[in-house]
Structure 1
């Protein structure tokens, strides 16, 4: 039912008037260079995505070697999180590339992994709260939708009529769906409410992005966009923290043992 809402949102996005890319988007306030690197802090702050992504992949590999930890009911459940952590690594590269020389062609490589990462988290939420098989079946579909939304945006920019509608649905409506899933369906694992902190941190990151200039003028230490990177990476870390701390709830563990 909730996935149908997502499809409906995409249809509505196709009907509504196009939302163009603001011309001022690339005009970030902190343009200080260091060691020959332009926009240094906005570039260098992406290293934290690389760190979190690598640590996340190492954790998933360890879980696959030690399945008795009960981090996942079945090991196939780790696939959506593999997408999330791989996307974080890709964001570190794509975002650094974009901030080195901000323009739409570089922004494409920044947004592509963001879209796939959000779709991975949505698929993970479906597997944990509705049905494992359904979530894993939706995973490649959602990832393709996320990628297509960015490809379509960039193509529309090339045609001179930029349209962010589908990317907006992928990034924001999918997060709304995650919240609805958390409210309506219980998780099979402990630490299920940690997802609220993940979304809260991501919301703070988007707010910092909007307040890029205001935050920079408060001491001229970091800009809102640099802070956005740090908060978004912290949100991904919180996903990793949730996975490390959670365990399968006893009633689901017993049911799983009976099925086996």
Structure 2
């Protein structure tokens, strides 16, 4: 079993390197300026783009709820959320970034442009890489993800800074940001498929990722959804669905328990997996 795990990790590493290489060699993709033109530009209470601005509050609610849960040691220890206390750190970063997404998103949607978009994307990139670290903890080794967390978060944030820097130089390059966002989620899915979770409710991650997938689809259909009745736009729906996906992760943490066989069987060391 350990040999099979090592082999799968090698293949995942090769795939990661290959995807990064593709991002590095394909022609740079600039940020389309049409992206900043959202369907619902209605102004209420002197707040421009009211629905897109205020719907980000859903991120604040779920982010703060997650932080309250994780910062209450009696709560998560009693629930058996983590076998290793260090496994808590990726989720702390995840929920903190989700809470901060409320402010980054609101700031951007008040006056959409490339400079403000950086602050919208920064917490997204950090949150996604934190989720990848949490998945590595739970499905590969209980300390691996926590050790890689600073590196993964730095990479995620770095891709946003690199994109913004490239736009300022007039050679906008979204390649690495797109790579980190979508490949990190693909890596989470592959880890969930090929490595069993050390906890119950491991399949809940599929629900969370499905909701995020629907959120991205709603974003693409921003105008079409708004045209259905001029009630809500696709981008506003995106915010609500993405927040619901994060809530699924919080619900999973509150309900799950360690698997008995995972407690009895010692985990292979990080060194032996490398």
Give the shorter-chain TM-score range.
Answer: over 0.9
Among candidates 46, 49, 54, match of residue 36 of structure 1:
46
Q: 1:111: Cα distance to partner?
A: 0.2
Deviations 1:205-253 (A, max 9, x none): 0000000000000010000000000000000001001101100011123
Shift of 1:75: 1.1
Structure 1 length as normaliser, TM-score? 0.95
**In 1, distance between residues paired with 2:87 and 2:202?**
15
Among candidates 116, 128, 139, match of residue 106 of structure 1: 116
For residues 6-58 of structure 1, the C-alpha deviation after alignment (integer angstroms, 9 at most, x for no partner) is 24322321111111111200000100011110000000001010000000000
Q: Is residue 217 of structure 1 aligned with residue 227 of structure 2?
A: yes
Instruction: Using the TM superposition, give the Cα deviation of residue 65 of structure 1 relative to its aligned residue in structure 2, in angstroms.
Output: 5.8
Distance in 2 (alpha carbons) for counterparts of 1:192 and 1:80: 16
Distance in 2 between the 1:63 and 1:198 partners?
Answer: 25
Q: What CA deviation, in whole Å up to 9, does each residue of 1:167-193 have, x standing for no partner?
A: 001110111111100000000000000
Question: What is aligned with 1:144?
Answer: 154
- 8 Å contact kept, 2:79–2:255: no
Report if the CA contact (8 A) 1:201-1:234 is conserved.
yes
Q: 1:240 aligns with which of 250, 255, 258?
A: 250
Number of aligned pairs? 256
Question: After the TM superposition, which segments of 4 or more aligned residues of structure 1 sit over 3 Å from their partners?
Answer: 63-66
Using the alignment, how far apart are the partners of 1:146 and 1:122 within structure 2?
Answer: 11
**What residue in structure 2 maps to residue 9 of structure 1?**
19
| DSSP-derived class of the 1:132 partner | coil
Does residue 158 in structure 1 map to residue 168 in structure 2? yes
Q: CA deviation at 1:62?
A: 2.0
Residue 179, structure 1, aligned to residue 189, structure 2: yes
Question: If the length of structure 2 is used for normalisation, what is the TM-score?
Answer: 0.91
Q: Is the 8 A contact 1:115 1:170 kept in 2?
A: yes
Matches within 5 A, 1:33-72: 33-63=43-73, 67-72=77-82
SS of the counterpart of 2:143? helix
Q: Which residue of 1 aligns with 2:5?
A: none
Please give the alpha-carbon distance, in whole angstroms, between the structure 2 residues aligned to 1:177 and 1:110: 23
8 A contact 2:104–2:119 mirrored in 1: yes
Q: Separation in 2 of the partners of 1:122 and 1:221? A: 35
Answer with 180-189 or 8-17: which moved more: 8-17
Residue ranges of structure 1 left out of the alignment (5+ in a row): none
Aligned equivalents of 2:201, 2:73: Cα separation in 1: 17
Report the counterpart of residue 33 of structure 2 in structure 1: 23
CA distance in 2, matches of 1:66, 1:157: 43
Q: Deviations over 1:62-116 (max 9, x none)?
A: 2466524211011110101011100101100000000000000000000000000
